[in-house]
Amino acid sequence: MAFQIRALVTAKWLRDAVGTRTRSNPRVLDASWYIPAMNRDPKKEFTQPGHIPGASPFDIDSCSDTASPYPHMLPSESFFAEYVGNLGIGTRTHVVVYDASDFGSFSAPRVWWMFRAFGHGSVSVLDGGLKAWVREGYPLTGEFTKPEPVEFRAKLDRSRVKSYQDVLENLESKRFQLLDVKTPGRYNGTEPEPMEGIEPGHIPGSVNIPFYEFLSDSGCFRTPAELRALFRNNGVDLSRPLAVTCGSGVTACHAVLAALQCGSQDVTVFDGSWSEWFTRASPELVLSEGKGKRF
């Protein structure tokens, strides 16, 4: 492609690019997803009218390993390839992902990371999400035409993903830093987890930067200078390997995108995140100011 793929694109850029033949003509995905406490239905919102014209819905729960006991874990290469191909996305398609959250970005960075993990670098996040699109006065629609399926080839880059065993071994080896982007209450164990059967807390040795700290008041990502200072002031050294965790691997991807804006690509995601750690780890490895893990 003649143009440079940026991790973040503006609402104006997307408005100008959609439907043109002279620029990237991206395939747009609405990746809206919410935890139950948010009381929002992304499928209903997509059709009332609530999506960018030409966008297709992307469901992170459907595009996941449904055999796993942990929520929305990465699917197999073949499943991802079929799911994405059915959205009209080919190997050379530029994909732009957004969500409709009040934060500006909530689940979209997860889908951005999934594409990159499966070897597709032509993917961007709409900076500020649907919130920015609406703020600029651009139109929404409730109409949707299912795209024609195309061939997509997926190859998982396992260096982008950390497993439970990787994180467990790192408690001793300390080969990488561990960043937890849950809210402070969930990290400290003083506020409840939204996942049934999971108590709040954090992994030993992890540091906490809530995912929303990477965003400005407008919902857009902070400037690279601000992001570098945020990482540095919280003890994260972007010159060293970094893994990110959260509740279930969704908002962890904010930190990956933020680090990339700072020029750092050595950042991975603990896909199972806290849901897997709490389930599998021994009680002494579940740190919490609350009740912690009980048997």
Q: What residue type is 48 in one-letter code?
A: Q
| C-alpha 39 chain-centroid distance | 20
Answer whether residue 21 shows pLDDT above 70: no
Domains and CATH numbers, the chain: 8-156 (3.40.250.10), 159-285 (3.40.250.10)
Q: What residue type is 214 in one-letter code?
A: F
Answer whether residue 4 shows pLDDT above 70: no
Of the pLDDT bands very low, low, confident and very high (cuts 50, 70, 90), residue 291 is: low
Q: Is 246 a catalytic residue?
A: yes
pLDDT digits (tens, 9 = 90+) for 69-90: 999 999 999 999 999 999 999 9
Mean pLDDT of 13-24: 74
Contact 179, 206 (CB under 8 A): yes
Identified catalytic residue from 63, 220, 246, 253: 246
What pLDDT was estimated at residue 5? Answer: 83
Of the pLDDT bands very low, low, confident and very high (cuts 50, 70, 90), residue 2 is: very low
Of the pLDDT bands very low, low, confident and very high (cuts 50, 70, 90), residue 295 is: very low
What pLDDT was estimated at residue 44? Answer: 92
Answer whether residue 3 shows pLDDT above 70: no
Mean pLDDT of 34-45: 88
pTM, two decimals, is 0.95
pLDDT digits (tens, 9 = 90+) for 107-163: 999 999 999 999 999 999 999 999 999 999 999 999 999 999 999 999 999 999 999
| Best CA proximity match to 253, nearest among 123, 107, 57, 122 | 107
Helices (H), the chain: 11-17, 42-46, 77-85, 108-117, 129-135, 164-173, 184-188, 224-233, 252-261, 273-280
